[in-house]
A and B are shown apart, each in its own frame.
Chain A
Amino acid sequence: MTVHVPTRRELLLASGALFAWAYVPKLAHAEGRDPRFLVIVLRGALDGLAAVAPVGDPDWHVLRGDKALTVTGTPAALPLDSLFALNPAMPNLHRLYQAGAAMIVHASATPYRERSHFDGQDVLESGLAAPGTAETGWLNRALVSLQPAGRAGGGRDAFAIGPIAPLVVRGPAPVLAWTPRRLPPAGEDTLQRLLDLYRHTDPALARALEERVGLATIARAGGMDGEQPRPAPGAAQVRAYFAESAGTAAKFLARPDGPRIGALAFDGWDTHADEGVANGRLANLLGALDGAIAAIETEMKDAWRETVVAVITEFGRTARINGTEGTDHGTATVAFLAGGALKGGRVVADWPGLKAANLHEGRDLKPTTDLRAVLKGALKDHLRVDEAALAAKVFPDSARAKPMAGLLRQA
């Protein structure tokens, strides 16, 4: 049978990055600034301890043993301060940190304390205190509050074309969906989960998928022509996808007439097995994220000075390694902030410690910083979102999480 095989581009049903247009931070403009704000949601729950390791905490090695990143290991973690070091897969973020254009908030979490991805992502993106039937995201509501009452944007609203905005940008403010040229990688993780399901329930499908995937891997890797081994094809795809999505987003944000605020979502962080902190899967993902941040810096050009990128995830992972060389769903984790507008070069943390007694429910890094405080601080000082709106509409029931002050160079 002849089969018409279209390019992956033809297959696109999906779009990737979303921007709310026409909603510009007017108060900031009045101060002579033109701020850009990009939110990157990491879906699946990032292992904050593997991304930013507390190398100075004596209990770190007790917890993770030979899986613990250290500044003397191979590869060596990149020192941040006396307590923390960055995963070696993130040299760009490290460079920005040293230049004062990146910072890390550690032991932070949303108010969600259960461990379901779907619900955790709901809370993270909706800005509500509990999961439920959220239909709008905090970023969208923040934009609405920037507008004078009764005004619903300008002519560029027509760019709103509907689909699949991440929840964080959904809501009344018009949204532009942008479709990246590259299809999101099918996801080694999804494939592994599916193979696992087939192996337990449907051997015929398992065999078929294994064969097809095997062939595809050989084809993508260049097969038997004796070339040097390359990085896992999945990893290269992920890297390219992250960099292209983020870089294109930055190109839009950098334009004088472009949007000022946007959001992206990257999947794949649910590392239950074979986490690969230093060399494997997580290192690849963090490397891809690092490349995405570098792409944003490059494409923003001069606008980088006025940029804040917030990288957030629904929750963290268990402090200890589990029985399959991975980590299970946890609680506190890290948030990354990057951009020229930041007063960076520091790790913000009310460090809870890693002794068993200090762990949340005896298993997770304890949350000591409310992530909403960080986001509220950025929205208030960078975009000039009104503090009352932040407490009432953007992050309802967050009065106790005061906007974190001093995140930006000029506040």
Chain B
Amino acid sequence: MALDPKAEAALALHRFGLGPRAGSIAAIASDPRGALLAEINSPDAARINDTALLTSADAARTALKFQQERRAQRQADRAARAAANQQPDMKAGDAPPSMQPNAGPPLPQRLYLDEAKARIHAALAAQIGFAERLAWFWSNHFCVSADKGGVRPICGAYEREAIRPHILGRFHDMLLAVESHPAMLIYLDNARSIGPNSLAGMRQKRGLNENLAREILELHTLGVRTVYKQEDVTSFAKVVTGWTVAPPRQDPAHAGEFQFNPRMHEPGVHTVIAKSYAEDGVQQGRAVLAMLARHPATAKHIATKLACHFVADEPPPALIARLSKRFLDTEGSLNEMAKALVAAPEAWDSARPKLKRPGEWIISAMRAGAVVPPDIGPVMQAHNLLGEPLWRPSAPKGFADESAPWLDGLSQRLDIANALARRMGGDADPRELFEQTLGPLASTQTREAITRAESRPQALALLFMSPEFQRR
């Protein structure tokens, strides 16, 4: 069904972006498609330029120093307690702990929250949010988890370093950046994977870990049950042995940085998907990644995921075929993929089957209400409550993109909508907000429910919970 220009503008904002702010719909109504393309063609698209944020290597070193100091402190405390126990008059608990009273969360968590804050503010500030949505999509495609030891202080930097610079560049470059980033190497255990016949492997009992190789094939590139077999996984795992993180003790100046360690690398020629790769140090792994980045199975996998994210849980096969061809024709240009999505008529269907993911919904509600929280605590809690804790997926597959799993959180969304609406209080006129953020897309029933609400907060809660606001 064809939509009028204002409705198309509203759809562009909800489907491709992070939802309208006051004035957004009018601002892009003359040419919604052009506005989407303009946003992704801006040179700063999806960059977070916050000089206060640390690089992942600096963050890792700072966190390491913090852990060492804390360990030393604990040992000192234990010694003090032991000494106190020698004195008959004192009980074990009497020795005063020498730790300072805790000033806020520990350092890794602080780094994590600083990054989260920068990300939330970038999302609130975006004009449309298409580039941001692409960054979120790719960050989830190549997810890491802050809950894995060592990842928390660097997961935000990972997104800024390995994902954001490439979301409108080439898939191959992003793949290379991601798979050689310390966050990914730690998350999927490759940092500790050792070739059995490497120098290190022959000396100690630890050996190969297939985790990264498997997830690259299954999740990051070709897709599950495609052209690879178990031998390919094992072989590829051997290829990427030695892709690790510089160890703090041996190499303190470079601790936390990517390092290719030849002593851990499994020597020899390895065959991955019917092609053999000569021994070539770190280049051997890069060659396999280059092959994977232009494989037709990868093209189809990426095309399907993008279409699933922006269009429908089960996207039209013709759309997948077109996107897939575009990927192969342009050597994996993600800019061209984004343009192809915007150009696809299927992406402008007025039916809106997809439910916004929690983070997307929370941000779109805050954008609608012009809420910029001084403290991101409640925003993070809302993500947690709705099952999408930031940078903390429960598995390498990332958060689900289909609608069904997120329906479970609907009543929690109501709690959050209520809380947000109360926070906004009587400041906002719900009728105006409705027109600014939903108007041309809304049903008569939704319009009536909002205008007939018993209070402004109730009207706002109903607005945020309305089907048209919940759906992409």
Contacts and interface: CB of A to CB of B under 8 A. Distances in A.
Given A11-B378, A267-B455, A118 B429 contact: yes
B457 interface: yes
A194 B378 contact: no
A286 B128 CA distance: 46
A150 B408 CA distance: 56
A10 B383 CA distance: 12
A116 B455 CA distance: 9
Contact of A13 (B389, B420, B427): B420
B419 A14 contact: yes
Contact of B454 (A208, A213, A267): A267
Contacts of A14: 418-420, 422-423
Given A118-B459, A163-B425, A164-B425, A212 B411 contact: yes
A393 interface: no
Given A6-B385, A13-B420, A166 B425 contact: yes
Contacts of A213: 411
A364 B27 CA distance: 45
A11 B381 contact: yes
B369 to A, nearest CB: 11
Nearest to B374: A162
Contacts of A269: 454
Contact of A193 (B387, B416, B449): B449
Contacts of A194: 414, 449, 462, 465
Contacts, number: 135
A268 B461 CA distance: 14
A6 B414 contact: no
Interface stretch (A63-71, A184-192, A225-233): A184-192
A11 B382 contact: yes
B384 A4 contact: yes
A117 to B, nearest CB: 5
A341 interface: no
Contact of B445 (A2, A201, A216): A201
Nearest to B371: A13
Interface string B423-435: 1111101110000
B454 A8 contact: no
B418 A164 contact: no
A193 to B, nearest CB: 6
Given A117-B453, A201-B443, A165 B458 contact: no
B425 A165 contact: yes
Contacts of B416: 11, 13
Nearest to B421: A14
A209 B446 CA distance: 17
B287 interface: no
Contacts of B467: 197-198, 201-202, 205
Contacts of B430: 118
Chain B residues touching A, majority SS: helix
Nearest to B406: A208
B454 A44 contact: yes
A190 B462 CA distance: 7
Interface residues of B, number: 48
A167 B426 contact: yes
A166 B454 contact: no
A43 interface: yes
A11 B445 contact: no
Contact of A186 (B418, B420, B425, B452): B418
B3 interface: no
B423 A13 contact: yes
B466 interface: yes
A242 B400 CA distance: 40
B109 interface: no
A13 B400 CA distance: 27
A13 B419 contact: yes
Contact of B461 (A3, A190, A216): A190
Contacts of A125: 426
A216 B361 CA distance: 22
A183 B457 CA distance: 14
Given A13-B378, A198-B467, A208-B407, A117 B454 contact: yes
Interface string B380-412: 011011010100001000001000010110110
B407 A191 contact: no
B423 A5 contact: no
A12 interface: yes
Given A205-B410, A267-B455, A8 B415 contact: yes
B14 to A, nearest CB: 15
B423 A163 contact: yes
Contacts of B429: 118
B456 interface: yes
A158 to B, nearest CB: 16
B398 to A, nearest CB: 11
B381 A6 contact: yes
B455 A186 contact: no
A176 interface: no
B56 interface: no
Given A43-B454, A44-B455, A194-B462, A164 B387 contact: no
A121 interface: yes
A204 interface: yes
Interface in A1-30: 1-6, 8, 10-14
Contacts of B446: 197, 201
A186 B470 CA distance: 18
Give 4 closest A-B pairs by Cβ, nearest first: A164-B425, A270-B454, A14-B422, A44-B454
Given A164-B422, A166-B426, A186-B415, 15 more contacts: A1-B405, A11-B419, A14-B423, A44-B454, A118-B430, A164-B424, A184-B418, A186-B418, A189-B458, A193-B458, A205-B407, A208-B407, A209-B411, A209-B414, A216-B411
24 contacts: A2-B394, A8-B415, A10-B381, A13-B416, A14-B418, A14-B419, A44-B455, A118-B431, A121-B426, A121-B455, A164-B424, A183-B415, A184-B418, A186-B418, A190-B462, A193-B453, A193-B462, A194-B414, A197-B445, A205-B410, A205-B470, A216-B411, A267-B457, A270-B454
